[in-house]
Amino acid sequence: MAPSASRRSAALAGIALTVGACACFALLDTATKLVSATLPLFMALWLRYLVQSLLTSAWVLPRTGWRWPRTAHLRFQALRAVLFAGTSLFGFFSIRAMPLAEFTAIIAATPLCVTLVAALWLRQPVSALRCALVATGLASVLLILRPGGSSLGWATVLPLCMLAMGTGYQILSSLMAGREEPAHTQFYTGWIATALMSLGAPFVWTRVDNPWVWAGAFVMGLSSALGHFMLLRAYAHTTPATIAPFLYTQIAFAMLAGWAVYGQLPDGWSLAGMGLIAASGAASAWLTMRETR
């Protein structure tokens, strides 16, 4: 395969993996909103991380001969797990206080932050046109939120903290993608996060008799494991700047989940924002094809 065709194929694979990851994250947020109405914070997160870690271990350990996966960057693995846990912690509080679509729209500013950090800190080339496409995605988020609406206020501090930690998490993920096996990275992230949540879970443990709550906890762990693994694989295929616009697709998935589960239909402004996000993503895909010829 020619180098340009190989790069184009890798970029498109990264985009497809990113969209799949966003679908998993929307499912994760929906399950989290349902489970958080019943379970305490640390208990819910501990169950999520435990299920995620067990599923990841079932994939990783048979391929390592049932030996502990090796890593040459344990400190970065630990930092990634801390950022992961912090992102989930702020996300858990945020999703309790806000509607699902509005919550997702705020954290969808992450691609802009990732692209800027990739350009300014990682020195990765980012064209002016690609920056304009990411900015269009951010403007679409503001169109959905409509400053001055009921979703803004003190509650935005929580997702903004999640935004900062999520940006660091994704940048670190992109740095580690070419240095560590993605499944091994996910193995360490899951178990370290589980250990962190174990510090608080015993003190808030609550008896649960409803099997649907346990099913929701399992869905949280499964969708988290799949989503983060797919995103790691996406970063291994292409650059954060290429992936960034497609992270906005999580808004569309969140709106679909909000309609299916809560009967919340997006209004005209929200639909316009979704249309702009889709147009931005399509234009970015065309730009990727053009740049990799």
Provide, for the chain, the percentages of residues in helix, strand and coil under a 3-state DSSP scheme, each rounded to the nearest 5.
80, 0, 20
| Cα(147)–Cα(68) distance, integer angstroms | 49
Instruction: Determine contact, residues 97/168, Cβ cutoff 8 Å.
Output: no
pLDDT > 60? residue 147: no
Q: Dump pLDDT digits (tens) for 215-264.
A: 998 999 899 889 988 988 888 888 777 787 788 788 888 888 888 887 77
Range 19-34 average pLDDT: 91
Helix (H) or strand (E) holding 155: none
Instruction: Determine contact, residues 206/40, Cβ cutoff 8 Å.
Output: yes
Instruction: Determine contact, residues 159/103, Cβ cutoff 8 Å.
Output: yes
CA distances from 196 to 83, 103, 170, 265 (A): 12, 25, 20, 37
Instruction: Determine contact, residues 81/192, Cβ cutoff 8 Å.
Output: yes
Report the chain's mean pLDDT, rounded to a whole number: 82
Percent of the chain having pLDDT more than 70? 91
pTM score, whole prediction = 0.76
